[in-house]
Amino acid sequence: MKSLRRWNCFEMLFLDRESELTSTFFNDNADEIYVSFKLLRVLAFVPSSFLQRVPSRVQDLGFLRYLSVTEWFEGLDYVVSTNQNLQTLVVSRKESQFGAPTLHLPCTIWELPQLRHLKLDKSYVIDPPSMVKDNMRTLSWVCSPHCRAGVYCKFPNIEKFKVSVFSSNNPIVLDNLEYLECLERLSISVAFGCVVTLPKPSMFPSQLKKLRLNGTNLSGSDLKAIEMLPQFKVLKLENAFHGKVWIVQGFSRLEFLLLENKMLEQWMVAGFESFSCLEHLVLRSCYCLEKIPEDMKDISMLKSIELQRCCPSVITSAKRIQEYQRHDYGTVFFEIKIIGEESIPSDDE
């Protein structure tokens, strides 16, 4: 029987449900290799029989940079707290379990000096840090009363911030976002039945470039808070406002717009500069929307309009805009992408 060979240059490990090594990087072609975790830099796994033995084998991960788990298990507190070089921690279940209890993660996570990216799904929460975290760049967590000015001040250099609201007896006010002066990407997801209030126009970070709103139940007037942001490039509205009419007067630098709204009936553009830089428009589940604003015909930057689960009249209006461009400019600036059979108009149309 061959003796197992120890190899200390093992740097990446992915473990699946069957407890088999699915992705590795070695510097040798030995038939049998004894894996040493000492120099491991990237580790990602899901629960398995092997996982229960991991803590006793990875207690000395001084070089670990990235850790992703789908379940916080016994012994992981120690593994995380003793790896002072950890930069990214991801804790996210592959499948959401309805009614599953929320687990509080240890606040010792904040003591990691090199931590830059913390991503938690709705099953896990953590209390805010007591110290300022200058290194933090990405933060994804479940919203709570902690989301106030005193907390935002602890993340002066945060660039990506994802907030999820899944349960609340009282309205959640997401104010004081202006403290996140370096924030470029913001995502807010709200579960059905929860109420969230966005900040006033002057309270959004001036560097904000990308915004995703899901289930926020805003009115069209609430969106005016973001229309004039100077660096704004990407907006995703997924059932984000309840109004049947949306009148736009801004978004002069917006390049990408995703609009998913089952109740919206009329969409109007007021102002020559509105959407003047728009390149890509995506409409999803716009069952009640009558048409795309005809003002879109004058957007020379427009490259594509993607339609998914939209009513036939929306498709017709997109084609009409192409005809306007062909007549007025002698060319068509954008292509129409129709996704799914429900988007295809009938022969009678």
Rounded to an integer, what distance in angstroms lies between the CA atom of residue 30 and that of residue 28? 6
What pLDDT score was predicted for residue 10?
Answer: 47
Write the Ramachandran bin of 251: left for phi over 0, alpha for psi from -120 to 50, otherwise beta. left
List the structure tokens of 104.
């509080």
Enter the pTM of the model: 0.82
Rounded to an integer, what distance in angstroms lies between the CA atom of residue 215 and that of residue 241? 7
What pLDDT score was predicted for residue 39?
Answer: 74
What pLDDT score was predicted for residue 200?
Answer: 65
What pLDDT score was predicted for residue 41?
Answer: 84
Instruction: For 213-257, give the DSSP string.
Output: EES--B-GGGGHHHHT-TT--EEEEES-B--SEEEE---TT--EE
Q: Which amino acid is at 272?
A: F
What pLDDT score was predicted for residue 215?
Answer: 87
CB 15 within 8 A of CB 48: yes
Q: Which amino acid is at 153?
A: C
Question: For 306-322, what is each residue's pLDDT tens digit?
Answer: 999 999 999 999 999 99
What pLDDT score was predicted for residue 218?
Answer: 78
**SS3 of residue 131 by DSSP:** coil
Q: What is the pLDDT along the chain (349 residues), one digit of tens a residue?
A: 333 344 444 455 555 544 443 344 444 444 444 455 677 788 877 655 555 555 455 556 678 899 888 888 777 888 788 888 999 999 987 665 555 667 888 899 999 999 999 999 888 888 888 899 999 999 998 766 555 667 888 899 999 999 887 766 666 777 778 888 899 999 988 887 777 777 665 577 888 999 999 988 777 777 777 887 888 899 999 988 888 999 998 898 999 999 999 899 999 998 778 899 999 999 999 999 999 999 899 898 999 999 999 999 999 999 999 999 999 888 889 999 998 755 444 333 3
What pLDDT score was predicted for residue 22?
Answer: 39
What pLDDT score was predicted for residue 78?
Answer: 81
Rounded to an integer, what distance in angstroms lies between the CA atom of residue 159 and that of residue 169? 30
Rounded to an integer, what distance in angstroms lies between the CA atom of residue 24 and that of residue 34? 13
Rounded to an integer, what distance in angstroms lies between the CA atom of residue 344 and that of residue 77? 53
Rounded to an integer, what distance in angstroms lies between the CA atom of residue 158 and that of residue 181? 8
Tell which residue, 29, 36, 43, has the closest CA to residue 90: 43
254 strand-pairing partners: none
Which residue matches tokens 């996570």?
A: 109
Beta 12-15 vs 21-24: how paired, if at all? antiparallel
Rounded to an integer, what distance in angstroms lies between the CA atom of residue 16 and that of residue 139? 26
